Amino acid sequence: MLTDAIVVESPGAPFKFQHVELDDEMREDEVHVQVKATGICHTDVKFSQEDKMADMFPGVMGHEGAGVVQSVGSKVTSVQAGDHVIIVFSCCGECRYCEMKMTGYCDVWFQYNFGAGRLDGSKAFRFPKGGRRVCSHFFGQSSFARDIYVKQTGLVKIEDKSIPFEKLAPLACGLMTGAGGMLNVIQPTSEMSVAVVGTGSVGLAAIMALKMLPKPPRRIIAVDIVPSRLELARSFGATHGVNSKVRTNLMEVLLDITDGRGVDGSIDATGRAEVIQDLVHSTARKGKVVTIGTGGTQSEVTLNLFEMVQAGCAYIGCQQGDAYPQEFLPRLLKAHTEGKFPYDKIVKTYPAKEVAKAIHDMESGETIKPVLIWD
């Protein structure tokens, strides 16, 4: 079938809205979803420029989709035609990690989500009239397209069909990652001090998720270089805002705020090695530093082993917020209806054809979480 998609021809090429063909043949464990809204994440932009993964091009990015099920394969049991769904990452559903509901660590997670198509290498898209194949199934979905095929393990069914799709799509990755990193990994208590470096959509989600706790941490420290984002972080519950352009010694600032004790739990959403090192240096004994931002596929960080051992510091990588989406996303939606997770305040919608403007606004800081609308 002919459908619309946003295609990147080669690494670093622009996102181009155009027609593509979706294969008529859907796999027995797949679901045809008509996408209604797609969130834009910095990961989409990073991978569109990743020349070390050239076999993903030409390709369709997008991994924060929401839409309506059109049809299902013969082995699909979790959804049916007409269901509203959030489209998340794919997993096998059978390995020990999937059985423990740690699906972000599935044995074949990388192949499902960063391969050049399906697990077997096949691609669901091609250019019209028998043209070249176009890579599909980015993060198991490639939701920068109006019509896609998705494994049923990559879908979260939403019972309330009155929720606008632009409110569903952003939960699929960035907001889930930030909120999950805070609630599932740091697991803060009221006597703790926590810090979030980088208050884009992921970092702000980590901060606003603290409203879901009976008693939030006594210190909630937001760090960024954009004053307006620090103000927004305060409106979501941050007790301290640090402009790291003005106060450049992050370790000194964090130790000062915590009276020399250090921060009990930190989240880095920047992926910058020097930030992570500063967070380790300013962590309280038995504290945690959680990496959510990657900074690119080749990013590395150096840590002092003596320091790590003496402080009992835990440096933790966090994939998709350590969340089981089928349970965690309904929890976030419930919190939103109760006014405890007001993520809609950072969402701005754009027609899908205006993807270039949406990305520009995100990178300039004008928009925190852009969402593309397909209708």
CATH number at residue 279: 3.40.50.720
Both 106 and 181 in one domain: the answer is no
Residue 336 placed within a domain: no
Residue 216 placed within a domain: yes
Both 179 and 130 in one domain: the answer is no
Both 120 and 205 in one domain: the answer is no
Residue 331 placed within a domain: no
Distance CA 150, CA 133 (A): 18
Distance CA 293, CA 173 (A): 12
Both 168 and 181 in one domain: the answer is no
Both 265 and 347 in one domain: the answer is no
Kindly list the distances between the CA atom of residue 341 and the CA atoms of 172, 211, 371, in Å, as whole numbers in the listed order. Answer: 15, 7, 18
284 burial type by CB count under 10 A (0-12 exposed, 13-18 middle, 19+ buried)? buried
Both 121 and 179 in one domain: the answer is no
237 burial type by CB count under 10 A (0-12 exposed, 13-18 middle, 19+ buried)? middle
Both 127 and 191 in one domain: the answer is no
pLDDT of residue 299: 77
Both 163 and 221 in one domain: the answer is no
One digit per residue, the tens of pLDDT, for the chain of length 375 reads 999 999 999 999 999 999 999 999 899 999 999 999 999 999 999 999 988 787 899 999 999 999 999 999 999 999 999 999 999 999 999 999 999 999 999 999 999 999 889 999 999 999 998 899 999 999 999 999 999 999 999 999 999 999 999 999 999 999 999 999 999 999 999 999 999 999 999 999 999 999 999 999 999 999 999 999 999 999 999 999 999 999 999 999 999 999 999 999 999 999 899 999 999 999 999 999 999 977 666 778 889 999 999 999 999 999 999 999 999 999 999 999 999 999 999 999 999 999 999 999 999 989 999 999 999
pLDDT of residue 52: 76
Distance CA 255, CA 262 (A): 5
Both 156 and 191 in one domain: the answer is no
Both 55 and 139 in one domain: the answer is yes
pLDDT of residue 1: 94
> In this structure, what token pair is assigned to residue 46?
């990073």
The domain of 84 spans 2-172+342-373
Both 168 and 184 in one domain: the answer is no
Distance CA 357, CA 342 (A): 25
Residue 330 placed within a domain: no
Residue 328 placed within a domain: no
Residue 368 placed within a domain: yes
Residue 316 placed within a domain: yes
Distance CA 372, CA 239 (A): 33
Distance CA 202, CA 278 (A): 20
pLDDT of residue 54: 78
The total of structural domains in the chain comes to 2
pLDDT of residue 296: 66
Q: What is the CATH number of the domain that holds 30?
A: 3.90.180.10
Residue 205 placed within a domain: yes
Both 313 and 364 in one domain: the answer is no
